[in-house]
Chains A and B, each alone.
Chain A
Amino acid sequence: MNEPLIEVRDVWVTMRGHTVLEGVNLSIYPDDFYAIIGPNGGGKTTLLRVILGLLRPCSGEVRFSSGMGTGRESEIGYVPQFRTFDFDYPITVRDMVLSGRLGRINRLPRRYGNLDRERADEALDTMGISDLADRQIRDLSGGEQQRAIIARALVGEPKVLLLDEPTVYVDTPTTLQFYEILDRLRERMAIVLVTHDIGVIPDRITRVACLNRRLYTHDSNEITPDMLEAAYHCPVDLIAHGVPHRVLSDHPEEGREDA
């Protein structure tokens, strides 16, 4: 197996007396399409913030392969949970997407070049929002804003794309479209998708893990009933609604009796 791009090693995080992450180990490989599911408050966003370097773990470490470069953060694209910043800020969609290139520019003072503008046009095109480029972000709908945020993450040509609940605020058709886009991006980067909704996991994921303080991994793309039970601390109903492909494995009869 090839070398992991990112290795999370025995990470513990305690916040205000509560243990949020407990000995979490996680490796992200270049061809991964990794889904991390878990209940609200299970530590999903915290784990992403540790990987991004926005939060220092109490113990443990996050290692990056040499391929991730020395300026490691600029190799990561991040789609934060919706509305973590002020949508009333006076900025156009194009300028917001372009700002995702700043991590690629090292000379001071930073100025955009032709390559940056080309990449921004491509990212806008990929997300299908080229026609909105000169609109202000506050004039967009929720789904359009989310596309702009994803375009900003793509424009830096990251090796790893981290998505935090990317479909929470968008309707089902947009969600399906969005997963088609992710499928195309898989060729170019590793993707880590975090969500609390086990019904929305796309069918092309390579691995699944459940996170609720501890990370329960399975090294396959199926969620097993015991993983879910371990993560949610209660039997979980394994019926997925409106998903063409089930990521949930067939479960034995006794599992159904439990539920």
Chain B
Amino acid sequence: MLEVLGFEFFRNALLAGVLASIACGIIGTYVVVRRMVSVSGGISHAAFGGVGLGYYLGIDPLLGATVFTVATALGIGALEVRGRQQMDTIIGAVWAAGMAIGILFVYLTPGFAPDLFSYLFGNILLVPRGDILLMGVLVAIIVGIVGLFYLEFQAVTFDPDYARVMNLPVERFSLLLLVLVALTVVMLIRVVGIILVIALLTIPAAISRIYTGRLWSMMLLAVVLGALFTVIGIGLSYVLNVPSGATIILVSTAAYAVALGIRGGRSVRLWRYTQNGG
């Protein structure tokens, strides 16, 4: 199987998977601890509107997706700042509207939309070199910003009210975090596709949470787990000749189930132990 490493497309796929894992380990940690899973789902599905627009205008669909996700992130953030009620309903509407806009634009685009499917379900084996360069730049931006403002992000995601009492610019950091979520989503579209983004964004961080007690250690373990899942998923999909995005997600969810099962089993044993007067 190792001779496959000789192919450039396979090395590119592995590189893309690792780059995406760095972004989703770091940003996914915030998504999990701040409970922004549904917001992230809304942002990622709004990306399809951008992909459709890209097709329609004849530009790179990922560029369209970037514009759409960042705009959606800023819009949702602005509504959140105003303390609107029914936030989850608004997110649901944005979610569906993004998909609907995408479908309309794809329909309006004359001719056939090539690899539309790969945007929905990902195809990491087809990642071109240029996209890898773009992903590298995005990862550098994400790592740089989080490294600079680690303490501020911690304060704002832990207790926004107290952060406000301390005069920190809470709204600005919340918006910045949503923009970083949007950029991460764009990166992940290449790897697992719009529909499966949310799983890769949250599962490594959720497993990591079980075993770590600090934000930075949670990020580190989430990056390692994400890289492991994508590499195993890519390898399996090559060997079995099945779609890579779905394989990566199934590897991740299986690992999550095992981690939860081990934790559950441990607490049941502990419970039995204490019940027996231990």
A→B interface (CB under 8 Å): 52-54, 71-74, 76, 78, 80, 84-86, 88-92, 95-96, 99-100, 102-103, 109-112, 136, 152, 156
Contacts and interface: CB of A to CB of B under 8 A. Distances in A.
A132 B184 CA distance: 36
Contacts of B167: 71-74, 103
Contacts of B151: 99, 102, 109-112
Nearest to A72: B167
B6 interface: no
12 contacts: A52-B165, A53-B164, A80-B161, A84-B159, A89-B158, A90-B215, A91-B214, A91-B215, A99-B151, A99-B159, A100-B162, A111-B151
Interface of B: 33, 35, 148-149, 151-152, 154-155, 157-159, 161-168, 209, 212-215, 217-218
Contacts of B217: 90
Given A90-B33, A99-B151, A109-B152, A53 B159 contact: no
B149 A109 contact: yes
Nearest to A99: B155
Given A54-B164, A90-B33, A102-B166, A96 B158 contact: yes
Contact of A80 (B155, B162, B168, B215): B162
Contact of A90 (B159, B162, B209): B209
Contacts of B149: 109-110
A192 B192 CA distance: 54
A25 B98 CA distance: 50
Contacts of B162: 78, 80, 85, 99-100, 152
**Top 9 closest A-B pairs, CB basis?**
A103-B166, A85-B159, A109-B148, A136-B213, A73-B167, A99-B155, A78-B165, A110-B151, A89-B158
A86 to B, nearest CB: 7
Contact of B166 (A74, A84, A111): A74
Contacts, number: 80
A76 B149 CA distance: 23
Contact of A102 (B148, B155, B213, B215): B155
A111 B151 CA distance: 7
Nearest to B157: A89
A85 B148 CA distance: 24
Given A78-B162, A99-B159, 7 more contacts: A53-B164, A72-B167, A73-B166, A90-B217, A90-B218, A91-B158, A110-B151
A89 B155 CA distance: 11
B152 to A, nearest CB: 6
Nearest to B215: A90
Give the most central of B35, B162, B168: most A CB within 10 Å. Answer: B162
A73 B215 CA distance: 26
A74 B162 CA distance: 10
A72 B209 CA distance: 36
A95 B159 CA distance: 13
A78 B213 CA distance: 25
Contact of B165 (A73, A90, A111): A73
B107 to A, nearest CB: 43
